Amino acid sequence: MKVLVTGSAGFIGYHLVERLLSRGHEVIGIDNLNAYYDPGLKLGRLQAAGVSASSTGHGRFQAVGRPYTFLTGDITNPDDLRSVFEFTPFDCVCHLAAQAGVRFSLEQPLAYIQANVAGTAQLLEFLRHAGTRHFLFASSSSVYGLNEKMPFSVHDHTDHPVSIYAASKKASELVVHSYSHLFGIPSTGLRFFTAYGPWGRPDMALFLFTRAILGDQPIEVFNNGKMRRDFTFVDDIVTSVVGLIDRPPQPNPNWDARNPDPASSSAPYRIHNIGNSKPTDLLDYIRAIENSIGKRAVLKMRPAQPGDVTATWADTSELEKEIGFRPSTSIDIGVAKFVQWFREYYSV
């Protein structure tokens, strides 16, 4: 297949590109290489994929010896998307480009609306004329918001987000559903639960904690450590996404407009949780990092931050029914792989 991956220099994007290439697909990638976190890490991912790119200016780059074309560009810019859609027809589009991070959304809320909502709509405007067989897009466990019914089910309503990041992801789900309904675009929403692993983002807990412990610095533990997350290893996330690529949704023949199911539709639209289905206490997660490094952390307990939820837990039964796979990599194994990558990449 020919697959478009937006956000292809991002954490999950890089791993997805690698998996797609290993399966013999042709990949077109786009990323704006912004400075939300160190662009050098994004360039490092690209280099690992065989692409020598620059974070300044626009360009088109071909991976050495691999069917991977990478373009620097912004999905909110129509001119940049025109360059991407020169490569149509795409068999599949995996839309991972987004402004990430719950806490930064408190400081720059409009950046999230622009990137995550307007950017998705801009992409769909091009997509509806392109005849793509399947559109998959990244959402987030954050959309469950104030819901405390555990585990989170795709059949639950998600009407009470507690951060602008979560609201922007929920809004993007609604925009995609509208396009799916109006133009018949088969669309699959992917609610990722706390992704972690090698090449992970520097603003996430695993990266921050590992760097601090190795540097003999204290780590900040919010809500006094009373938090649980459904940490999901990136390889399991990618396996789930690749499994779903070959399963474009059909309209649900049993969908009842008088009792609407949030997970499906009379349109070719589905939502899936992509999580480990096994929430871990934050302090246990820290212990796994300590064990992998061989050094104890100095903990600075802090109150909860605005926009954070205390727990996440994915019900992945619909994913299992669809592709016969459930993410299950243990924290000990996943964290050890990240720490090994971190030490090799940063020579520490």
The CATH code of the domain that includes 136 is 3.40.50.720
Asked, for residue 318, whether it belongs to a domain, the answer is yes
Residue 305: per-residue pLDDT: 83
33: left (phi over 0), alpha (psi -120 to 50) or beta: left
Asked, for residue 269, whether it belongs to a domain, the answer is yes
Asked, for residue 196, whether it belongs to a domain, the answer is yes
Residue 23: per-residue pLDDT: 97
Residue 282 contacts residue 228 (beta carbons within 8 Å) = yes
Q: Mean pLDDT across the stretch 318-332? A: 97
Per-residue pLDDT of 165-198, as tens digits, reads 999 999 999 999 999 999 999 999 999 999 999 9
For residue 53, pLDDT beyond 90? no
Residue 107: per-residue pLDDT: 87
Asked, for residue 256, whether it belongs to a domain, the answer is yes
Tell me the CA distances in angstroms from 305 to 36, 108, 145, 162, 297, one per residue in order.
20, 16, 14, 11, 21
Closest by Cα among 236, 238, 241 to 322: 241
Q: Is 71 helix (H, G, I), strand (E, B) or coil?
A: strand
Tell me the CA distances in angstroms from 226 to 68, 222, 277, 303, one per residue in order.
43, 8, 19, 10
Calculate the average pLDDT of the chain. 95
Residues paired with residue 3 on neighbouring β-strands, in sequence order: 27, 92
165 is catalytic: yes
Tell me the CA distances in angstroms from 161 to 146, 164, 167, one per residue in order.
6, 8, 6
Q: Mean pLDDT across the stretch 303-331? A: 93
Distance CA 77, CA 218 (A): 41
pLDDT band at 264 (very low <50, low <70, confident <90, very high): very high
Q: DSSP letter for 31, please.
A: E
Query: How many domains is the chain built from?
Result: 1
Asked, for residue 114, whether it belongs to a domain, the answer is yes
For residue 56, pLDDT beyond 80? no
pLDDT band at 86 (very low <50, low <70, confident <90, very high): very high
Residue 156: per-residue pLDDT: 96
pLDDT band at 103 (very low <50, low <70, confident <90, very high): confident
pLDDT band at 309 (very low <50, low <70, confident <90, very high): confident
Asked, for residue 335, whether it belongs to a domain, the answer is no
Asked, for residue 36, whether it belongs to a domain, the answer is no
Distance CA 155, CA 263 (A): 5
Asked, for residue 2, whether it belongs to a domain, the answer is no
Residue 176 contacts residue 136 (beta carbons within 8 Å) = no
Residue 111: per-residue pLDDT: 93
Residue 234: per-residue pLDDT: 98
Q: Mean pLDDT across the stretch 101-129? A: 92
| Domain assignment of residue 324, given as a range | 98-200+232-277+313-328
Other CB atoms within 10 A of residue 228 CB: 18
Tell me the CA distances in angstroms from 146 to 86, 156, 158, 223, 257, one per residue in order.
42, 12, 9, 16, 25
Residue 101: per-residue pLDDT: 85
Residue 158: per-residue pLDDT: 96
Residue 297 contacts residue 259 (beta carbons within 8 Å) = no
For residue 131, pLDDT beyond 90? no
pTM of the model: 0.96
Catalytic residue (one of 14, 144, 165, 179):
165
For residue 54, pLDDT beyond 80? no
For tokens 């991976």, the residue is 63
Distance CA 280, CA 292 (A): 16
